[in-house]
Amino acid sequence: MKNPLLRFVLLFTCTILSFGSIRAQDQDKAPIPFLENESPWAEAVLQSLSPEERIAQLIMIPVYSNRDQAYIDSIASLIEEYKVGGLIFFQGGPGRQAAMTNRYQKLSKVPMMISIDAEWGLGMRLDSTMSFPYQMALGGVEDENLLFEMGREIARHCKRIGVNVNFAPVVDINNNANNPVIGFRSFGEDKHNVATKAIAYMKGMQEEHVLANAKHFPGHGDTNVDSHVGLPQISFSRLRLDSVELYPFRKLMDEGLGSVMVAHMNIPVLDNTPNLASTLSKPIVTDLLKGELGYEGLVFTDALNMQGVAKYYPPGIVDVKALLAGNDMLLNTMDVKTTIEQVKLAIANGEITQEEVDRRVLKVLRAKDWQGLSNWKPIEMKGIYEDLNSSASMDINRKLVEASVTVLRNKNELLPIQHLAEEKLAYVALGTDKPTAFQEGLSRYVEADQFLVPKNMAVEQLADLLDSLKGYTKVIVGLHELGLKASVKNFGITAEMNLFLKNLIDQQETIVTVFGNVYSLDKIENLQNAAGLITTYQESALTQDIASQIIFGGIGASGKLPVTINSHFKINDGIKTQGGLRFSYVEPERLGIAAAQLQGISEEVHKAISEKAIPGASVLVAKDGKVFYQEAFGYHTYKEENPVKVTDLYDLASVTKISTSLAALMKLQGEGKFDVDKTLGDYLPLAQGSNKENLKYRDILTHQAGLTAWIAFWQSTVKKNGQFKWFTFKDHPSKRFPIQVADHLYIHRNYADKIYKEIMKSPVSGKHDYVYSDLSFILAPLVVKEISGENFETYLQEGLYRHLGASTLTFNPYRHYAEDRIVPTEYDSLFRGQLLDGTVHDEGAAMLGGVSGHAGLFGDANDLAKLMQLYLQDGEYAKEELIKGNTVSEYSKCQFCPDNYRALGFDRPRKPGDPNGNSAPSAPASSFGHTGFTGTYAWMDPENGLVYIFLSNRVHPTRENTKLYQLNTRTNVLELVYQALNH
């Protein structure tokens, strides 16, 4: 431009506009929280400190809570003598750390700032505490409000044990897949994503007055040396640093970031001093961070005992150099005495002024005031573990994992798996020789053959396994025990594992879930061709739980890759899948229920156990398809040898009626093959010509058809001397006595005919009075076979249970399950002379070979709940209409109220609101279900979307024990659920 005046005017205008823009940006910045208000307390404390004590305020020493008493005492002496400003805790436990903090704070003249590295929660350092997802997993979460809530919860955990500073979040941009120290600790490779995720985490913590810390300034994401063991060199241009590495730091500073940690890196473009770490560089700390970026919050060094600095300078010397560089807080000072002496010498030499030291001390004290240390109170020791592992915390953690798990392949939308009856599945744990939480989670949806494939399995064995897996429709593989860091060769994936998985993917439909560092995907051959692929970013019981729920549609997947792995798996890849298909498993907080409100359930069941009403129980409650309570209590027997597990099978007794006979009849009615307004004689030739021929099924199923209540069939098999008649039972199987009734007891092959004939001869009352009867349900298998052409057990398994994945719903479980998984019932001293374990308690069902429509079904609470959920959803489950035509809703209604309160087959509240009734007082009149003689209970409430299962063996060791009825335990537990819902 030739005109100098015009050029000057334009430059001046641009300068003014630029200055105005900067001022506007400054005004938009959120204040640093502890500098927002004046602190008279900080001013007063500063004035009370000697020069040495002021220097000590800038020192943080390392402390471990897993050491012996001599060590603990030595730290106390150090605090008493030098009055250090803070502690950084490392490995140990929360209770021990809290106790040490209480002791040390009482010794300190000024309350100390307590810090910890808890990037993913206290579990990063302390046992018995919670670990939230690694930041790499969080990088793929779309809802950043979840990260804010996580930040708040981690801060609450910190405060609970007296921690005031959490050295998190990591804002390094991990654009180097081989980074040996950051990797999974980063939110990813996109600077915008890193910044927004870090801001949410930071704000959550600082909302709770725990100081956040952005690390590792000016950016440690693209290094190939671990600064714990050496000094990484960053050779980027200033333009690159400004546009990439510094970006998230600037963004967090704009949002009120409380503190920054400076990394140990050599950065020639900023300071070309050989072997000088950024921590010790005045051009980086003072000129760039505090000057150019204008940062006024607390500046911490990275640990000063790390080799990035410690290999070049001894303790004390390195500390003073860090202080002179511009750092406020000296982290991991290893020689307090020398550090104080060296700082005093630097002041005397004019390298730093007392006024500058005081300014930094005042800033530290103002931060302490904001953290609440000006009004420090001892930590309450009672309930620390419970508070740090609350159900509410677990719910937040679960939400984060659910939102992070990422589906990368889903050929033909096979996820979630549907139509279970058409599948033969195999669950393979690759890389481990131990059963996994993943396989356990998958088994909740449907049981399948499980295979463990350790890393050292021989090639020949792998080939045999591949061949045997050909018989399955789908193979679900979990990759386990992978290395977390890039420094582990191929993340622990062996050549044998690679070859096996490659061949399996080529061979058949395979769903692979990788439980480990997401960069490990690049080390697995042929992975892009898997029919289904899920990455969870890490291995924990929770990630395995969530992955299993995604595979079967309990929840949907929504995570996105926060990094590019290779040409097949790129940043932002992620396929959404459907949830709500089957049960999901959640904490009660997901439904707005505080877990504490359900504590009474445990108390109620333990009361029943302590009063010997039952030896144990299994309880499950689901609402709106979400299982929010599932616990096992006590033992199988009063010998207390075998604890009850939620997967144990119970004898369901009369709950069999609604789970077998009624299920089959409703299914047939939905298909137009059965009608409750027709008679027994219409469907059962055996009834024709008898006094039962014209009994209507509507009357039969409401127990007002006049049938006899029950018949003690077994009594006619016994002689006066107590021995069995010769044509009834033998103690060993044979062609004539093939049907097992109990251990070493087999019944004649034709004896069932005698039972059916005896029923047909029994009297029928002409009145329509309510009399609960087993007899029609004993005949139900014959009716179902006449209509369907299939035997009863096959019809139920193929028509219902297999579709539901209700694998444990079975007759005669001794055929399929280990004895220690089946809960025994009564010691039958009168008929069978033994403890009944795996064979049905009911004598009549036993004499029918364990297969009957009134008793005989066994199952665990989870599988029984699936069937009840099918009923609650009027015959539809997992997009399959198994009982058509709104049949269930019709059957569950009262048929002859008010004279007879029962529904068709189902029980209903006899007197709604009655505290001593057959259901909870708060259960609405529309609720329905059934009870079982052995102590079982299944109840559904369509108004509240509830399914409730209570399984016990109250008849152990004798049916004469009626305490469970007297205590009303089953209905009391359900009432507690209603109270929690209405709280």
547/401 Cα distance (integer angstroms): 9
Cβ neighbourhood burial of 12 (10 Å; 0-12, 13-18, 19+)? exposed
Amino acid occupying residue 754: K
**Bond from prior residue into 930 cis (ω within 30 degrees of 0):** no
> Among 453, 368, 463, 459, which residue's Cα sits nearest to residue 49?
368
| Both structure tokens of 160 | 């609970």
Contact 540, 131 (CB under 8 A): yes
Dihedral sign from CA coordinates of 409, 411, 412, 417? negative
Contact 746, 729 (CB under 8 A): yes
388/127 Cα distance (integer angstroms): 11
Long-range CB contacts (< 8 A, 24+ apart) of 105-111? 105/162, 105/376, 105/378, 106/378, 107/76, 107/79, 107/80, 108/79, 108/83, 108/84, 109/53, 109/83, 110/45, 110/49, 110/53, 110/57, 110/83, 110/85, 110/365, 110/368, 111/368, 111/373, 111/374, 111/376
Check if 930 is active-site. Answer: no
Where do runs of H (alpha helix) occur along 83-231?
A: 94-107, 135-138, 144-160, 191-207
798/921 Cα distance (integer angstroms): 37
559/573 Cα distance (integer angstroms): 9
The DSSP line for 564-619 is --SSSS-TT--B-----SS-EE--GGGGT--GGGGHHHHHHHHHHHHTTS-SEEEE
579/625 Cα distance (integer angstroms): 11
86/199 Cα distance (integer angstroms): 25
Enumerate residues 6+ apart whose C-beta is below 8 A from 879.
Answer: 418, 581
Check if 302 is active-site. Answer: yes
Return the H-helix or E-strand segment holding 949: strand 946-952
Q: What angle do CA 885, 890, 893 make, to 5 degrees?
A: 165
124/592 Cα distance (integer angstroms): 29
624: left (phi over 0), alpha (psi -120 to 50) or beta: left
The bridge status of strand 532-535 relative to strand 474-479 is unpaired
304/59 Cα distance (integer angstroms): 11
150/203 Cα distance (integer angstroms): 10
376/104 Cα distance (integer angstroms): 12
DSSP state of 479: E
252/151 Cα distance (integer angstroms): 14
Q: How many CA atoms lie within 13 A of 813 on its CB side?
A: 27
| Both structure tokens of 702 | 């409401």
Q: One of 228, 568, 744, 816 is an active-site residue; which one?
A: 228
| Radius of gyration from C-alpha coordinates of the chain | 35
Cβ neighbourhood burial of 958 (10 Å; 0-12, 13-18, 19+)? exposed
Q: How many residues in total does the chain contain?
A: 983
Contact 324, 349 (CB under 8 A): no
721/726 Cα distance (integer angstroms): 13
Contact 741, 747 (CB under 8 A): yes
Q: One of 302, 319, 395, 863 is an active-site residue; which one?
A: 302
Residues classed as catalytic? 228, 302
